[in-house]
Structure 1
Amino acid sequence: MVKPRAVTILTEPVFARGEKPGLLDSRMHNSRPSEPPERLGTADFPAHLFDAFAEAFSIGSWTWDIASGDLELHSSALDARNVPRTLKTRNAEASTTMKLLHHWLDSCTPGATNTASFTLRTDPVAVRILCVERTETTVRGLLQDCTAETLTSENDQRFRMAFMGAAHGIGLVGLDGSWLQVNEALCQMLGYTEKELRERTFQDITHTDDLENDLDLLHECIEGKRNAYHMEKRYHRKNGDIISALLSVAVLRAENGVPLYFISQIQDITAQKEAEGELVAARDEAKRASAAKSSFLASMSHEIRTPMTGVMGMLDMLQESGVSGDQLELVKTARSSAEMLLSIINDVLDMAKLEAGKVEIASRDFNAETLLRTVCDMMAARAESKGLKFNAVLPLSTRTWLKGDPDRISQILFNLLGNAVKFTEHGDVSLTAEVRQAGDGLELVLRVADTGRGIPAEKVDRIFQEFERVQDGASSQIEGTGLGLAIVQRLVDAMNGSVQVESIEGKGSLFTVSLPLAAGAAPAETQAPAAAIEETSGTAPQPAAPLSVLVVEDNAVNRKVIGSVLSIAGIEPTYAFDGAQALEAVKEQDFDIVFMDVMMPVMDGLTATKKLREVGFAMPILGLTANAMEHHREACFEAGMDDHIAKPFRPADILAALETHGGKRKQI
């Protein structure tokens, strides 16, 4: 019986007669060590067998010409990859790799078989070169395409370098949660050595409150529902500290889709979370400070406006009492000072509301010419009192209806014209307005010019800042808060407009405001002329009976002021000192209108209004309040009031309210 043998085929290249080298010399070695290898001739192993062997293992040959430095490659595998057959290793343009190859080839020992090898990288392949034989003119040997092996090795090396050198933590995690491999950054982050960490699972160091969510997402990856996930979580460090981290996990699968392990990237965001916490705390503190500021301003507004109502009301009464001469001038001076104080209060409150973003821009129809003429009439009187000429240029284009916030537009004009009058000693102040087409809408352009002292060039860019004033020897004596232009800028911005200034020191200034507005609609005529009513009725109109008015006010001075104003209309009001008394008064008498102070002892005006509406009182209730913030006004309407009159009020405000609301029943 013939015993089987294991055979090892050893091949050596044979270079003969300058022909292409081939694998022609072989030996067969059996499994019995006592027997020497048997030499097999070429006839035993045909050339085509060796060619097939070479092709299967991507083996070829090469020849290097020592004189020229040309390297000739012979390999079907390289031919298939379009690798040049001839490579230059000596010329000046040779790459560093080729220069290294040249040095290596030149070091091969003549007349001997060399076993050293060199891996040559030349796009798109890697070739392992084995030097076998050197003569005086050439060096020859074998080559093998090792592209796949080299790329795998290089990829492994790159992965290891990225893995170990990453600034954030990276770990390979088994399906059971064990750490298979971790980098130095992760060890430093968690305070463990590599050995200590690999003895633990990620579950061991995960914060209890975050573990369930982490495991749920991990299981979804194992089940194939997702390939990766991201989450914020907390880890326990070795010393017991807790850190916050941003975790990114990806699952690696075999070719058949079976999950093998996870790659976890962990970024320490503890400092970021602490900073976020500090920002949240700072934001909350800012909100508390803003609320305290608003509360303070509301309180100061109420405390100042309440006596201001009495001061200005009494001055109005005194002026109407028939005083003349020096006494009338004294009254006017006192009234002017009171108005200046009120203007300062209003500026501070407006700025506070603008800073808090609580100013809402209304959108209602208004007549541009009517608004502009009203402002001009008021400012012309102020200019003339200083001996200034006031010019108004209102072309036909302003005789149109627009949609916007007429109150805020008036406020912008009052601030700009007020400054123009204030800072102009001689000459004139002018307002030029126009309404022009701008895209699909309209644009209201307002130009306020004066011949005043002007603004120094270096201060022009700062005049719209809060409390910024053009300070010099004269202007430092002019009253004001320095908030007027800052308010103008904020209001213009809120209306998506623009404001520009041109000024020459000593000659005057020009402010140009452009406001984009929509076209408005004129109100429909809802009432026939009085003459037509007379003709229809056939009888002369009878004078209306005086309204029955209830004034609910705890301040005696303010009661007296309101009473004196109502007496102008021939009304003798009934008084209540708080909300509780108002409820009793309504039970005993029918009233056409109620003026209700908001802040009172016993029962405030808002509570009293709600109770009156609950029992079916349907006549108008007008709020009187020294709280001028927007949310106070809204609170009045939410309680059931029909209107809101801010203190200090003018006699005209009360009379206008009577005309607007007197006797109108509210639908409840």
Structure 2
Amino acid sequence: MEMAMDDQRGSRQFAAESRMALFDFAFDHAPIGIALIDLDGCVIRGNAAFSRMVGIPLSELEGISFRDFTHPEDLAADLALFAEVLAGKRDGYSIEKRYVQRDGSILHVRIHVAAMRLANGKVARFISQIEDISKDKENERELAERAAQLELAMQAIRGGFWHMDVKTHKFETSERLTQFIGGPDAAKFDLKGYTERVHPDDSTAADLSSLIAGKLDQSVAQYRLRTIEGERWMRCDRRLLRDPDGDPWRIVGVAIDFTEEHDRLERLMEKSETDALTGVLNRRGLESRYEMLVSSDGFSVLAIDLDGFKAINDRHGHPAGDAVLVETAKRLQASVRVNDLVCRAGGDEFILIVVGEPGVGEAVAKRIVEAISEPFQLTTGTVRLGTSVGCTWCQTKKPLDQLTAHADALLYEAKAAGKNMWRFAVCS
């Protein structure tokens, strides 16, 4: 019996010693700092990582108070939480603070403190786990410096910047961008509030999915933003910042109002794509708009040439000829819908693109012949002329040159048949 009891005691002792050995190994070799602290805040035991963090050799740690290596500005908050645990108001706490090492270096740490209690509930000691967060703080400092520099730069322009945490999706606009959007008393915008200000048609341009997923490191977007001054065009340079492991960390964006530049470019583009005399599209403008046309019902391309136009120029002069061309353009526009395209290809030649089934294009050709046959009132008198129209229809989009060549061939057929008429065919 006694031998059995001795064996049991031996087994329990061995198990206890094994657990202690495992604890000691984990304690000493943990990659984070670990320290046992007594009720006065003095170190009972610390590991190698903790020793490096406080800058004190392992052999000298015992008996040193955490007050001795805590930054003076951070001590009061730590002591207050420490006292609350001693008073039984909490079981532990977490806090960020600074360690002052013996050589004067500052280390930013995050500490998790837990109370180890006796059976009666009283605190026996504390165990602290300490993380070195210096890199995080350095990243935050650099980001704050960049933000300050950007804010200073933004004073010379209209707009501002924003930043977003990729993991939490926390989004915040800078003070200047906030005021630009919402006025001097506006609160900073979160992601929902900012995206609600983006024009619905531009939501795809403003989307951040590719940056969040890490597929892109940088992108530039242009979109309309609703501001206190009305709708403004913004150019936004978005950049992805990655953490040390290369994973997406933050996205920063600089949004600049370029409404006046956008409008100026639009006007220049409009001029470059518009016939100066008649105001309708020129060939370049027609090609550009044709690329954007979408229709499941097909397209009709009409080639139009005025019959007898040269005689008007010869008899009444070029100003009269110009007046006829301007009036012709108006009659052509009146013969089609707003979304159809009217182009002056050169001289007295026009091209129309009409969306819809074959009958739509034929009806337009008929209306054009009738419209142009009406008299033209000029300062030199009334003139009449006719027009020949070639109309081709295609179910699916084909190169514009191919369609206009087919329409031109039909136009020549109409002229050869006696002019002032139209010819129609389906493009093969």
TM bucket normalised to smaller? 0.3 to 0.5
Greater RCO, 1 or 2 (C-alpha within 8 Å, sep 6+): 2
* TM value normalised by structure 1: 0.27
* TM value normalised by structure 2: 0.41
